[in-house]
Amino acid sequence: MPRFSANLGFLFTEHPEIERVAAAAAAGFKAVEMHWPYQVPAAEMRSALSRS
């Protein structure tokens, strides 16, 4: 069975980047990816990922 990840650069663009993690989790995604993650500090992204 295929597994999909939410590309946060293209999906949930109505949210700020850091909030897209929670939006993806709410939509049922268990994995996310970002092509350009450098606008969000790594510690903040790690925190958002651990909350979701």
**CA 50 distance to own-chain centroid:** 11
Instruction: Please name the amino acid found at residue 35.
Output: H
Which residues, including other chains, have CB under 8 Å from residue 21's CB and lie 6 or more apart?
A: 8, 32, 45, 48, 49, 51, 52
Evaluate if residue 19 carries a pLDDT over 90.
yes
Express each pLDDT in 20-44 by its tens digit.
999 999 999 999 999 887 888 999 9
Q: Please give the backbone phi and psi of residue 13, each rounded to the nearest 5 degrees, phi first.
A: -70, -10
Q: What global pTM score does this model have?
A: 0.85
Q: Give dist(CA 19, CA 34) in Å, integer.
A: 13
Q: Give dist(CA 20, CA 16) in Å, integer.
A: 7
